[in-house]
Structure 1
Amino acid sequence: MVSPSHNSMIFFLFFTANLWLCFVPSTAELKRFEHPVKADGSLSFLVVGDWGRKGLYNQSLVATQMGVVGEKLDIDFVISTGDNFYEDGLTEVSDPAFNESFINIYTAPSLQKQWYNVLGNHDYRGDVEAQLSPILTKMDHRWLCLRSFIVNAGFVEFFFVDTTPFVNEYFTDPNESTYDWKGILPRQEYLSNLLEDVDSALRDSTAKWKIVVGHHTIKSAAQHGITIELEEQLLPILQANNIDLYVNGHDHCLEHISSTNSQIQFLTSGGGSKAWRGDIREWNPEELKLYYDGQGFMSMQITQTHVDIGFYDVFGNVLHKWGISKDHDSAEL
């Protein structure tokens, strides 16, 4: 994929029955993509994370319900919060896991839309370049995976952030798995540039809604809990730029945490396959709107003035609904 340039205009289009996707140069280092809203000005999509297990651990059942809800909501795209292929990412672009965990699982007509994917820590255990390769997009037009990027959908901007390189233990713990750090080192330079680019992009954004997507948790009552490195380095940037939502996976559950000292809503959708870990940390009940230690996914519907989120279990039951308007009058539905 060609990098953006200040001196040239580069376009490439992915055409499907319901989508065009346009890549345009960005003033920052983050690649920027345009995604159209519906004719009525609305946008709807699903969010799933931690899913790639060749249909096992109820991945196929979650996919079935995603197809049902996706059709009902007439979704525009799907967001994956990472850990796309277990246990160790893809071995190469011809790895059969791409078919076995993605193409052959998410077969519902409503899911044949663009998928915007970030990398999780398990993806970094394999060949990262394989997941980022345009060859996969040729194999399935839905697939778009980059380390960090921006999707502009008119009044909404999505900022996808590569969170795995922030976590110290992946670099220092001798018991940790081997990770593919090609393109990351020197690490501190990579992180410094990424934080600068995210800060700049958020600061320059004029979108009414700003949504940041990463793999790792910032706030979570589940097994992984708070990711200290993100809390210290990324969260201050998100707060300073008044983002609305931080969406993540990593913890294999569904969560909604509404911070008492920030407008940011923290949404975990990591129930795409293996879940049911049976643990929960103490958390302020005023903040913890939903904790579900099981499989499922999340939906989001957005207009100029309102965001509605919904969480669904593996049977398609609604676990939690919540909405917020731009004047920040919010309510559990």
Structure 2
Amino acid sequence: MARTAAIIVLFSGLLGTFAFPMTDPLPSLRFVTIGDWGGIPLPPYYTKQETQVADEMGKIVAKWGADFILSVGDNFYYEGVTDVNDFRFKNTFESVFNAKSLKHVPWYIMAGNHDHNGNVSAQIAYSNVSTRWKYPKLYYDLSFTIQNTNVSVLLLILDTVTLCGNSDDFVSRQPGGPLNEKVANMQLEWLEGKLLSSKEQYVLVSGHYPVWSVAEHGPTHCLLKHVEPMLKKYRVTAYLSGHDHNLQYLQDNAGIGYVLSGAGNFVEDSQMHKDKVPQGYLRFYEAELDNMGGFVYVQITPKEMTVTYIQPGGKSLFQTTLPPRH
């Protein structure tokens, strides 16, 4: 599936103390990463935090544009949806992310552990109902070309639940292993095949479970065993995830960025697994309840990939850059 970033925007300044250079009007691919935004299973089926994050997303996209939204899972708490006509699609998604600027921006979807408690096939089928909900299959790839350049971006979207197993947040913080080893291995083979053949200047991999995290769930052992070696071997630019309900940025010794954006609906302040992450990896952590969560805004130019963490109210919390692969 190919898509071209068609809008060139000159940024006069970014939030807080961070700014894009006014004299560097490079064409770019821009997107928002949001995770764990899936409301609650009781009326009104959304949280105050979710509405504030949605409102800020609408403002940011109106100002700076976005080619797509990347949803990194847990789209509907706590048991997913039942069928394609489930009212949660309207009450938790359509009616909350309803800013004019978001109406025609595609959302690329993946499933989290709570989505797998329900009917993930119904979420895939909802792609035929909503013009902006894009979920073709459990795991899939997207290719983008930055307009007027030969610079391309590959995004590989995983289903980490079928890969590693489901995780009960109230019992175990680690997934218990895949229900079907053959299906899990097929996904790993698919991932390695895509990485092996990738020629793009930027390669992003995304899944619901994090590879590295200092928070409640901690590093995902399954991904450390099966996925992290591939990220290093094929010099992936970044891995984007959710699952832990906060904002984190980590970077390993190979220069791979780990973008954790799981504060779309709840905030949980925990660094209980900080000693499980190598020293120096954690560069940013935010879980202040007063900040009402947040999301990540990504801009990719031929020169660099800029990652900015944003909270409701328009404050930029942290910004970093990653270079192209070649």
TM-score range, shorter chain: 0.7 to 0.9
Amino acid across the alignment from 1:152 = S
Contact 2:236-2:325 at 8 Å conserved across structures: no
Shift of 1:169: 6.2
Amino acid across the alignment from 1:98 = F
Structure 1 residues 287 and 279, CA gap change in structure 2 (3 angstroms): closer
Alignment partner of 1:45 is 2:36: no
Alignment partner of 1:229 is 2:215: no
Shift of 1:166: 3.0
Shift of 1:92: 1.0
Distance 2:166 2:86 in 1: 28
Structure 1 residues 248 and 175, CA gap change in structure 2 (3 angstroms): closer
Quote the residue 1:141 is aligned against.
Answer: 131
Shift of 1:175: 5.8
Alignment partner of 1:128 is 2:120: yes
Equivalent of 2:311 in 291, 310, 313: 313
Count of paired positions? 286
Quote the residue 1:264 is aligned against.
Answer: 256
Amino acid across the alignment from 1:160 = I
Contact 2:216-2:244 at 8 Å conserved across structures: yes
Amino acid across the alignment from 2:187 = L
Equivalent of 2:242 in 241, 249, 254: 249
Quote the residue 1:300 is aligned against.
Answer: 298
Amino acid across the alignment from 1:49 = G
Equivalent of 2:156 in 139, 159, 166: 159
Alignment partner of 1:205 is 2:198: yes
Contact 1:78-1:111 at 8 Å conserved across structures: no
SS at the partner of 1:276? coil
SS at the partner of 2:5? coil
Contact 1:77-1:111 at 8 Å conserved across structures: no
Equivalent of 1:68 in 35, 56, 59: 59
Structure 1 stretches of 4+ with a deviation exceeding 4 A read 168-171, 173-176
SS at the partner of 2:243? coil
Distance 1:318 1:170 in 2: 31
Amino acid across the alignment from 1:222 = A
Contact 2:201-2:325 at 8 Å conserved across structures: no
Shift of 1:168: 4.7
**TM-score with structure 2 setting the length:** 0.82
Unaligned stretches of 5+ residues in structure 1 = 1-32, 329-333
Equivalent of 2:188 in 190, 195, 198: 195
SS at the partner of 1:290? strand
Contact 2:237-2:324 at 8 Å conserved across structures: no
Alignment partner of 1:36 is 2:1: no
Unaligned stretches of 5+ residues in structure 2 = 9-26, 40-44, 146-151
Deviates more, 1:138-147 or 1:157-166: 138-147
Shift of 1:326: 2.8
**TM-score with structure 1 setting the length:** 0.80
Quote the sequence identity (%): 28
Shift of 1:279: 4.0
Contact 1:57-1:274 at 8 Å conserved across structures: no
Quote the residue 2:98 is aligned against.
Answer: 107
